[in-house]
Each structure stands twice: as structure tokens, then as C-alpha cells.
Structure 1
Amino acid sequence: MPIEKTPNETRAAPVLDWKSLTLGSPVLAALPGPARRVTRLLDIPRHASVFNQGDHPKAMFFVLSGDVRLVRRSSSGGETILQRTRRGFLAEASIDQPAYHCGAIAAEPSTVLAIPRGAFKALSVEAFRDGWIAHLARELRRVRAHSERLSLKTARERILHFIETEGERGAIDLKQSKKDWAAELGLTHEALYRTLAQMEKRGELIVEHSRLTVR
């Protein structure tokens, strides 16, 4: 059962320290008082669901800490990671949908804010609206890059595309296991390990633990 439906995992809204919670997030900082007063704080255990595919959206979620992922499972049992959030909004595109098209699972113990759907959709404060539009534009660019990456045919192309779009100056420090990264790339972990080894052997890539550098 999704965590949002479990009352004993919720800490009462009056104890929320909004000054510290909103650090680094201009959009969250602009959240008006009425919405703040009905926002809940949820503690999500590892591997627990924030919501399941097919559930009716009841809140807008903001990940404060941990790692929450949008996952879609195929009929064959395979998984594709559609979004990975360590700090930021989750499943923004579902706020006006009748049902979620994927599930949200905590890859590690996580803390999440749940802003009731009605309160969130009623927001019209200019500072919040402008920040929200800018946030959605950034998220759209991220989703487009992810979609473009998954359309590439080979594992090598997907690896290079990820480093180019998510890293800096041809290098990236992975903040997840290679097995989780493989799922995000739409690959099996065996295919990822094999391709990394081949690229390293050919001198295309330097692999130093979690740091990858294109040569």
C-alpha cells in the first residue's frame, strides 16, 4: 500500500521548519501559507511505495532527502526508471491526471513532503507560478534528454550520451550503483558492465570507481 495512505508515517504539519526545508528550492520557498499548513511530512522506508501505478493522484510530492524513483514495469517484468529524485518535485506531470502511469519507489530511506492536490492546483501566487514554470521547463529538458538517450540503439551510445548531458567536461561522478544506473539507461547490468569494460579496454573511457571520464 502506498505510504501516502499510512497515517502513522506522517508527522504533523505544525512542526515543519519551512526555513530549513526550503533551502535551495526557490519554488518551495514561494509556497503560500495556506498550502504549507496542509502539507504533510512523510518518512518512506527503503523499497516502500510513495504511490502505485493506477493510483489516483492525491498530492504533489517533494523529495527532501533520500532517493525516490518513478518506475514503470513491462509485461515481461523488466523495469525502466523514468525519473530519479534526490531533492526536488516528483511526478509533476501527473498532478492533473486521473491516475498515475507508473509507480514511485524509495531506493533508500527517504523524507518527502506531500502537498494536497487541491491546495497545490489552487496556487496562483505570482512568485510561485513563475518559479513553477521555470522548474517545469528544466524538467522538460531533462525528460527530453532521457527520452533521446533511450532511443539510442547501443549501450555505448547511451553511456556517452549520459556522460555528455549529465556530467561536466566529459566526466561524471555516479551517485548511484551501476546496477541502478543500468536500469536508468534501459540496459541490463550485464550489458552495462560488459560495455564499460570494452570501452575501457579500447581507451575510450577511464573508469575510476564511481567516476567515469571520456578520453
Structure 2
Amino acid sequence: MLFLFLPITKGTWKQALAGVHELQQQTLQVSDPGPDLRASTGVHFFLFYALPANTRPPIHVTSFQTEQNKDLLVVQAIYDADFAPYIGSFVQQPEIAKGLNLIVKLLDESNIPGIDPDGPNSANFIKKNGGVVANPDAFNCLLMKYNFANPVVPGVAYVDPKAIKNPIFGATFPGLTVGKILQYYPNANQLWPSPPATNVVFGKSVQPQCNP
């Protein structure tokens, strides 16, 4: 799982959300030349959340807070296979790489304690040296600077209490990957059509009424 808290330039949070939405659409369509890598590195779930600079979320938890004078982009993704191939499959697709370069362009790493804004794994370095395609390792390390989760912890159905480690990543169907669904299930292409279906309607939930 990835759980990224990315500091981005003040005033760009809407541009960032638009960029990651387009990135997700490109990921689903896989219109670029080359093999379709979704079966080995499929994403089960993703979430994007943005917070304008100098604001707080409507919950009393300090994790979701912006650096001074910076917007915040939160990204969560649950994926199959190893982390490096998962990220690598995005970088290999030119249209997807464009979206990743946009996110790198919007990052603002200045004046953050412990962060070198011009270091070898910085957004500035990647921008000046050919983007994410030319610097896949630097891009991976850039993400890890802002990742709250552990990208290599596999999901499990049960954890022995004597062996608990932080974090615990639970999986309802451990071992059931996107690749297995596409490979073995009848009519699996209907589960993940390409281009993606646009007429799917999800049921709406009711907001619980809570006392202040």
C-alpha cells in the first residue's frame, strides 16, 4: 500500500487533482504501445485527497496538515505484486509518465526540515534531468520520503498476536490478485474493460447523523 502526503505548490491543489484524475484514466485505458501490464501490477483501490495551504481538515488529527504555505496532496493506492514493478509499469507508459511529471512539477520541497530540495532524489533533480522516465529510482525514493505506509508489506488474512508488527495490512481475499481475476475468471474482460466503462452507477450511502 502507498499512503503519500505530498507537499505541492500553494494554489495548485485543484490542478493536482485534475492531473491525478487524468493519470488514473490513462492507467485504465492503457492506450500506449507495449504490453498491458495491469494483470501483474493491477490497482485494487485508489484515493486522492487535497488540502489547500494553511488550512486544516475537519477532523482533530494532526497527520493531515499542510506545510506552511503549501497545499497538500494525499494519495492512497493498494496494488498487486512488488512495489518497483508497480511503479515501473506507470513510468513505462508515455502518457502516464506525463501525468507523473505533472505531479513532480507541482511538488514544493523547499523549507521542509530534513528535506534537501535539490538532492539526488528530489523533485527538482528529476525535473532538471529528464523527468520520471529517465530517473525511475529517484522517483521511487522521492515517493518514499512522503509515504506513511510500508510499500512492501503484503496483505494477510490473519496475524499471530505474538508476531504483530507496525503496520498491519489486512486482506479479505489474500492471494486473489487482479492478474488472477483477468486470467481465470470467465468473461474477466467485463470486470476490467478497456477502455473503461462509463455507465456504471454505484449505490449511494446515507451520511450518519452524529451529535456534535
Q: Which has the higher strand share?
A: 1
Q: Which has the higher helix share?
A: 1
TM-score normalised to structure 2 length: 0.28
Structure number with greater CO (CA < 8 Å, separation at least 6) is 2
